[in-house]
Amino acid sequence: MQSVQKATVLLDEAIDTISPYLHGQFAEHLGELVYDGVWVGEDSPIANTGGIRNDVVEALRPLELPVLRWPGGCFADVYHWRDGVGPREQRPMRVNVHWGMAPEPNAFGTHEFIALCRLIGAEPYFAANVGSGSPQELQEWVEYCNFAGASTLADERRANGRDEPFNIKFWGIGNENWGCGGNMNPEYYADLFCRYRTYAYQYPGSEVFAIASGPLGGDWGWTRRFFERACNSYWDRRKLVQGFAAHYYCGTAGTSATEYTPDEWLELLAKARAVEGVIVGHRAIMDEFDPQRRIKLFLDEWGAWHPVEPGKPMGGLYQQNTMRDALVAAISLDVFNRHADKLHMANIAQVVNVLQALLLTDGDRCIKTPTYHVFDLYRPHRGATAVRLVTESEPISDGGASAEDCRKCYLDTDADITLKALEASASIKDGVLCVTACNTHPTEPIEMELAVPGAKLGEIELVILAGADYLAHNTFERPEAVTLSAPQAVSAKGDTARIDVPPASVVRIRAGLT
């Protein structure tokens, strides 16, 4: 008999509006992401629009992705924007020192990135170079992009084909400046952040939202010392900070992206679940320095990080993506919903061909990964009001020894980050309840008893993401081994519905409330 796991939606416990930016994406000049994955050039035999692959655009456009962060990552702090504007044949060839010493032809620069964003409907988010750049370089990039009036830089933009300003709002001031972004200590970075941020001018008609570079995971010392320096030095400079971005990679479990045991399945999901510790820990520190909660928390990079796919270059971070990754994504997005009152943006790493990608390409072929389908499934949460959902669900895993190492970093938060058999979140928009949930058990189905006290559930629509088993994934030969099911109707009894949730699956339940 399958186990019953209860989930109760507490309609009178609204959390906040779920920022659509929680479904953000990340595109770094790394491996096969930009070159081959997105950009093939106008003369390519691969169908393209102005050099950008049509199949990738056609796959991404229906997701209505809210935001795309670029050009890095570590690459951001070696990127000089002037290399990537003007006639392509005159652009310099550089070496991508962080990612396999690959050639960087700069064919894909500011204008090409904006063209991609327009084609897929995403808002651009620029990560600026602090590590090897200068405040002047940042000031000039902002002016080039955002100034509508008469200036040599704005005229250069016009000469390069764009009359109207790009009006880039989101500006990351460096990336991982404790590491690849300059090996700085937090006080030095806080000083540099304030200096650079000063010159990211807000030109008339544009808005600048500056994001400071936070730590990896639960490195609370970086966060605390950054804010102490920004707030308690000669001036109180916290007004310069609009956003603060942590990174969290749950990594891998086992030795392969596609071949893993049930224990390794649970280990990785437990590590993914621990992202709540990162969020809770950061919120607590930020609340000390910003009790009005004016500064938004970002999670600029997150996701699984597996060993590189056999046959692919080490520096390219190309990995396959299975139902295990789909549950990593779903569990994480459910956690994000529960922190809708603080978390403003989260960008999974990365959109095509790198780490936990939505799409994989091979020559002229392009496939959707299970993670792609999670972003599709979770779309109704965007802009909805998150409401508290409590589960009476048994702990399924502490994730084993290596997850325990990971958890130790977060033990000084009071978050319950134990992986349960049923992981879920809920939101409401226009009188329609949306519950997303995972059966984290690799091989056993569960019955979910969903209760919404105080409401009458109408007919329920159920959509399931599952494969043949917990190892299922799409390949270029079998691109639809994992897809969303057709919507099915489920009947409810008063305020309760019982839903069969297959093993290793993600489900979405939508119901009108009366």
In the range 222-281, which residues lie near ligand AHR by CB under 6 A?
A: none
In the range 484-503, which residues lie near ligand AHR by CB under 6 A?
A: none
User: Which residue's CB is nearer to ligand AHR, number 176 or number 423?
Assistant: 176
| Whole-number Cα distances in Å, 143 to 146, 147, 156 | 5, 5, 11
DSSP labels, 342-393: TEEEEEEE-SBSSSS-SEEEETTEEEE-HHHHHHHHTGGGTTSEEEEEEEE-
Write the binding mask 279 to 318 for ligand AHR: x where contact by CB under 6 A, - elsewhere.
----------------------x-----------------
The sign of the torsion formed by the CA atoms of 408, 410, 413, 415 equals: negative
Backbone angles phi, psi at 508, to 5 degrees: -125, 130
The sign of the torsion formed by the CA atoms of 251, 28, 370, 307 equals: negative
Compute the least distance from the CB of residue 322 to ligand AHR, in Å: 19
CA distance 41 to 51: 4
Per CB under 6 A, which region of 67-75, 189-197, 436-444, 470-478 contacts ligand AHR? Answer: 67-75
User: Which residue's CB is nearer to ligand AHR, number 69 or number 420?
Assistant: 69
In the range 407-446, which residues lie near ligand AHR by CB under 6 A?
A: none
Compute the least distance from the CB of residue 104 to ligand AHR, in Å: 14
Classify 25 as helix, strand or coil: strand
Per CB under 6 A, which region of 44-52, 263-271, 348-356, 416-424 contacts ligand AHR? Answer: 348-356
User: Which residue's CB is nearer to ligand AHR, number 278 or number 472?
Assistant: 278
Compute the least distance from the CB of residue 292 to ligand AHR, in Å: 29
Marked catalytic residue, from 32, 137, 301, 423: 301
User: Which DSSP symbol is given to 187?
Assistant: H
CA distance 28 to 318: 13
User: Which residue's CB is nearer to ligand AHR, number 216 or number 490?
Assistant: 216
Do the beta carbons of residue 85 and residue 109 sit within 8 Å? yes
Compute the least distance from the CB of residue 505 to ligand AHR, in Å: 28
Cα dihedral value 358, 25, 414, 419, nearest 10: -10
Residues 6+ apart with CB under 8 A from 401: none
User: Which residue's CB is nearer to ligand AHR, number 350 or number 436?
Assistant: 350
Residue 176 within binding range of ligand AHR, rule CB under 6 A: yes
Is 301 noted as a catalytic residue in this protein?
A: yes
The sign of the torsion formed by the CA atoms of 347, 352, 353, 358 equals: positive
CA distance 288 to 284: 7
Compute the least distance from the CB of residue 206 to ligand AHR, in Å: 26
CA distance 293 to 74: 29
Backbone angles phi, psi at 13, to 5 degrees: -115, 70
What DSSP element (H or E) covers 9?
strand 3-17
Half-sphere exposure (Cβ direction) of 260: Cα atoms closer than 13 Å: 29
User: Which residue's CB is nearer to ligand AHR, number 104 or number 301?
Assistant: 301
Per CB under 6 A, which region of 68-76, 78-86, 150-158, 199-207 contacts ligand AHR? Answer: 68-76
Do the beta carbons of residue 243 and residue 345 sit within 8 Å? yes
User: Which residue's CB is nearer to ligand AHR, number 321 or number 427?
Assistant: 321
| Whole-number Cα distances in Å, 445 to 154, 198, 471 | 59, 55, 15
Compute the least distance from the CB of residue 444 to ligand AHR, in Å: 34
Of 44, 30, 114, the closest CA to residue 72 belongs to 30
CA distance 305 to 319: 8
Candidates 15, 38, 56, 74; binder of ligand AHR (CB under 6 A) is 74
Candidates 175, 213, 353, 425; binder of ligand AHR (CB under 6 A) is 175
Write the binding mask 9 to 48 for ligand AHR: x where contact by CB under 6 A, - elsewhere.
-------------------x--------------------
Marked catalytic residue, from 176, 264, 276, 423: 176
Compute the least distance from the CB of residue 98 to ligand AHR, in Å: 7
Compute the least distance from the CB of residue 381 to ligand AHR, in Å: 24
Candidates 65, 85, 194, 349; binder of ligand AHR (CB under 6 A) is 349
User: Which residue's CB is nearer to ligand AHR, number 143 or number 301?
Assistant: 301
Is 176 noted as a catalytic residue in this protein?
A: yes
Please give the residue ranges that form the binding site for ligand AHR (CB under 6 A): 28, 72-74, 175-176, 301, 349-350, 355
- Catalytic residue positions, numbered: 176, 301
